[in-house]
Amino acid sequence: MSEITLVEAINQALAYEMQADESVIILGEDVAKNGGVFRATVGLLDKFGADRVRDTPLAESMIGGVAIGMALQGLKPVAEFQFMGFIYPAVNQIINHAARMRHRTHGRLHCSVVFRTPYGCGIHAPEHHSESTEALFAHIPGLRVVIPSSPLRAYGLLLAAIRNPDPVIFLEPSRLYRWAKQAVPDDGQALPLDKCFTLRQGTDVTLVTWGAMLKETMAVADQLAVNGVSAEIIDVATVKPLDIVTILNSVEKTGRCVIVHEAARTGGIGADISAQIAEQGLLFLKAPVKRVTGYDTTVPYPRLEKYYLPSEKQILKAVQDVMEFA
């Protein structure tokens, strides 16, 4: 079995599900002829034809609305927005219609649609290309927000998202698209949504993260191990609904927690995780929960982007603080 990148795993999952289910339709800007801005849909037009892989105008609100209409007629659209910063014109459609449809119709209708978009830093472009606003969508009842952090999880979680009867915001870390390769069986096996993945067992500190920040967090865990500190790593994966049970179980074991995300600090998912630990697991803690995050600014570009992102040094400092807390 050959190893593939995260973006190739996305393509593999789309091809598998389109082959298995004729109701799956792909639409978005440049997804057909050009194969997507990051080549996530390359080759799918040739395999499945123009009726099922459709280029759209540069009109994100229209993409959102058409995808919702398709879903209400029994199709399973996978709509791509080229960057997360471009999704905002479709927010009206996503929040006021996709997210509310099941509630609005008392369960008579549901909206099985996946809104895919690259997100986060990594390409050193203007600010609309580097957004990390997962918390915006996580706040909305009726939306599920999923963020893969490896090729294997991208494949399994995307399959699960497409098969889910309700709308899913599927955020793909552009910084990880071609960062690493992994063996991914093309067996159609979905991974569970709404569950954290414990990627590394540890006893001294719990490191909670998701998306592209897994890269720095794993590197820090390796450095800590050299110094005799055992870090447990949790990849949240589905930030809404949040699997707080897995996080609490880990914090009960380690007594310390550092949360890492590249999104802005204020109102971030990390703040919610910290609050839930305080509410439900305060007596587990040997030290206050620490957050290592991006800044409450627009992402600067191009050369200052690296200063916006949380660094290994910052994560190490946060771990040192919780380990030394008296």
What pLDDT score does 137 carry?
98
The answer to whether residues 300 and 153 belong to one domain is no
The 8 Å CB, 24+ separation contacts for 276-282 are 276/242, 276/244, 276/247, 276/248, 277/247, 277/248, 277/251, 280/244, 280/248, 281/248, 281/251, 281/252
Is 62 part of a structural domain of the chain? yes
> Does residue 227 carry a pLDDT above 80?
yes
The answer to whether residues 242 and 307 belong to one domain is yes
**b/e map 36-63, b = 16+ CB within 10 Å:** bbbebbeebbeebeeebbbebeeebeeb
DSSP secondary structure, 149-173, as one string: -SHHHHHHHHHHHHHSSS-EEEEEE
CA distance 273 to 181: 30
- Please say which residue of 150, 183, 216 terminates a domain: 183
Looking at residues 125-135, what average pLDDT do you find? 90
**Mean pLDDT rounded to a whole number for the chain:** 97
The answer to whether residues 201 and 179 belong to one domain is no
Contact predicate 68/76, CB 8 Å: no
What whole-number percentage of the chain has pLDDT above 90? Answer: 94
Q: What is the CATH number of the domain that holds 52?
A: 3.40.50.970
The answer to whether residues 137 and 207 belong to one domain is no
CA distance 10 to 222: 28
pLDDT digits (tens, 9 = 90+) for 100-111: 999 999 999 999
CA distance 298 to 260: 18
> Does residue 124 carry a pLDDT above 90?
no
The answer to whether residues 153 and 206 belong to one domain is no
Is 280 part of a structural domain of the chain? yes
Q: Residue holding tokens 């590394």?
A: 200
* 322 band by pLDDT with thresholds 50, 70 and 90: very high
What pTM value is reported for the model? 0.97
Q: Cβ contacts of residue 254 below 8 Å, gap of 6+?
A: 202, 203, 204, 205, 206, 232
What pLDDT score does 15 carry?
98
What pLDDT score does 186 carry?
98
Looking at residues 283-287, what average pLDDT do you find? 98
Contact predicate 197/292, CB 8 Å: no
pLDDT digits (tens, 9 = 90+) for 20-70: 999 999 999 999 999 999 999 999 999 999 999 999 999 999 999 999 999
CA distance 160 to 102: 19
Is 192 part of a structural domain of the chain? no
Residue 174 carries which side chain, given as an amino acid letter? Answer: S
DSSP secondary structure, 227-250, as one string: TT--EEEEE--EEETT-HHHHHHH
Q: Residue holding tokens 């599920």?
A: 144
- Please say which residue of 161, 183, 205 terminates a domain: 183
Residue 201 is encoded by which pair of tokens?
A: 């067992």
- Please say which residue of 183, 207, 232 terminates a domain: 183
Who has greater pLDDT, 240 or 128? Answer: 240
Q: Which domain holds residue 132?
A: 3-183
Residue 23 carries which side chain, given as an amino acid letter? Answer: S
The answer to whether residues 176 and 263 belong to one domain is no
Residues with a known catalytic role = 129
Is 189 part of a structural domain of the chain? no
What pLDDT score does 126 carry?
80
Instruction: Provide the number of structural domains found in the chain.
Output: 2
